Amino acid sequence: MKKKLVSVLLCTAMVASLAVGCGSDTQEETAGENTEGADAAEEESDVQADPVDTKKVYVTPDWVQSVIDGNQEESSDYVILECSWGEEEDSPSYTKGHVPGAYHMNTDSVESEEMWNIRSAEEIEQLLLDYGITKDTTVICYGEDGVNSADDRVAIAFLWAGVENVKCLDGGLAAWNDAGYATESESNEPEAVEEFGTTVPAHPEYIISIDDVQDKLENDDNFKLVSIRSEAEWLGETSGYSYIDRAGEPEGAIWGHDTDDGSYCNDDGTTVGVDVLEGYLAESGASLDNELAFYCGTGWRAAIPFLIMYENGYTNMELYDGGWYQWQMDDSNPVQVGDPASDDCVHTTVGELSTDKAAE
């Protein structure tokens, strides 16, 4: 329902040129090539991998398999989630072959339909309980491949809620298959638990409201609102979404590049390091020392730079969850159309924008 059409074209090109990538919120039907059914998951395995820090988010297929094999003592209580938009039967990365023991998670479960923001604390807590997740459970999220930010979206929601050890399989199911690990096609159902173990959200500071964004843009020179959108979206050529008619950016925003075009991918499809993000910020005169609020259209792509900073020990970042979708709902909000460093940039308000910029 919240699939953005421009990403379909970008992801198709990415999948054709890379075995694995990172950053899109669409699905391509390429998963499960080494699927051998449930029997494959039962083959003898004893993978050893070095432990990783609790805050380390992006992990290797070897580490995930070592968890499954019982060789990560601190992650003996774990849940694996295949994250994608839609119901289980509509997910090729689940039905064709998923990581053994994984449960399917529809991203609609973590987002409300009104503005595609993270659902209420009560709803997220109930979701966690239904999936057998407490604050001490190691949660391993993955998407179909790296060109998919569904797992990052779920990861940031669960960190906000208070899960202390959240991981993303770097490169997604494609990386898992490339590593030669077994998959299964049978459906798995979680067992619910009764107590999460802390108040949800345990980390409200990870999400910044539109009101606080507006205030900081006006009054805090150290604050930087960072757009994680395509260049065409950044320049106001398209909204990037079929259901958003207006194009532009909140006035005062800077560009942090897009996750859909490979800007946040290494050559092997794994997620880039914090040094790459630092370089993107420097292009606009910002740095990792600023207070950084990342946003995109509806919160998927912006999750990736947040998680990169999180796993590198930074605490001066937030997710502006409402993104451009929420910003353009108020006709009075100030916007910029074009590169703000250019003399051609137009400074106006939402109400003055044309309404013919929806992605086709």
**pLDDT tens string 294-332:** 999 999 999 999 999 999 999 999 999 999 999 999 999
Whole-angstrom CA distances from 337 to 131, 230, 282 are 43, 14, 21
Residues 208 and 330 in one domain: yes
Pair (291, 329) in one structural domain: yes
Taking residues 39-43, report their average pLDDT.
49
What would the pLDDT profile of 238-291 be if each residue is shown by its tens digit? 999 999 999 999 999 999 999 999 999 998 889 999 999 999 999 999 999 999
Confidence band (pLDDT; 50, 70, 90) for 39? very low
Confidence of residue 44 (pLDDT cuts 50, 70, 90): confident
Query: Is 199 inside a domain boundary?
Result: no
In a domain, 274, yes or no: yes
Residue 59: pLDDT over 90: yes
- In this structure, the dihedral spanned by the alpha carbons of residues 111, 304, 349 and 328, taken in order and rounded to 10 degrees, is -20
- Mean pLDDT over each residue of the chain, to the nearest integer: 89
In a domain, 358, yes or no: no
Tell me how crowded residue 263 is: count the other CB atoms within 10 A of its CB. 19
* 265 and 129, same domain (yes or no): no
pLDDT of residue 359: 95
pLDDT at 144: 87
CATH code (residue 98): 3.40.250.10
pLDDT score at 43: 62
> 256 lies in a domain?
yes
pLDDT value at residue 42: 53
When pLDDT is averaged across residues 124-153 and rounded to a whole number, the result is: 94
What is the mean pLDDT of the segment spanning 48-62? 98
Same domain as 243, residue 131: no
* pLDDT range class, residue 71, cuts 50, 70, 90: very high
Q: What is the token pair recorded at 266?
A: 């290494």
pLDDT value at position 207?
98
Is the pLDDT at 25 greater than 80? The verdict is no
Q: 285 lies in a domain?
A: yes
**CA–CA distances in Å: residue 82 to residues 38, 93, 125, 169, 257:** 16, 8, 19, 10, 26
Q: How confident is the model at residue 267, as a pLDDT?
A: 86
Catalytic residues: 296
More confidently predicted of 127 and 147: 127
Same-domain check for residues 131 and 15: yes
Q: What is the per-residue pLDDT across 191-210, written as a single tens digit (0 to 9) for each?
A: 999 999 999 999 999 999 99
Of 64, 13, 44, 54, residue with least CA distance to 164: 54
Task: Say yes or no: 298 and 338 in one domain.
Answer: yes
- Contacts (Cβ under 8 Å, ≥6 apart) of 128: 134, 158, 161, 163, 196, 200
Q: What pLDDT, on a 0 to 100 scale, did the predictor assign at position 115?
A: 85
User: Which residue, among 173, 170, 177, 179, has the nearest Cα to 265 in the 3D structure?
Assistant: 170
Say if 359 falls within a structural domain. Answer: no
Per-residue confidence (pLDDT) for residue 28, from 0 to 100: 33
Is the residue at 188 inside a domain?
A: no
| Residue 93 pLDDT | 84
CA distances from 98 to 102, 123, 182, 188, 266 (A): 7, 26, 9, 10, 24
Cis ω before 201 (30° cut-off from 0) = yes
Q: What percent of the chain is predicted at pLDDT more than 90?
A: 83
Q: Are residues 229 and 108 in the same domain?
A: no
Report d(CA 18, CA 295) in Å as an integer: 26
> What is the amino acid identity at position 105?
M
The answer to whether residue 360 sits within a structural domain is no
Other Cβ atoms less than 10 A from the Cβ of 248: the count is: 29
User: Is the pLDDT confidence value at 10 over 70?
Assistant: no
155 with 24, same domain?
A: yes
CA dist., res. 145 & res. 265, Å (int): 12
Rounded mean pLDDT of 97-125? 95
Question: Among the listed ranges 5-9, 64-68, 147-151, 161-165, which one has the minimum average pLDDT value?
Answer: 5-9
Domain of 323 in residue numbering reads as: 204-352
**Average confidence (pLDDT) over 216-226:** 98
**Better-scored residue on pLDDT, 116 or 133:** 133
**What total of structural domains would you count in the chain?**
2
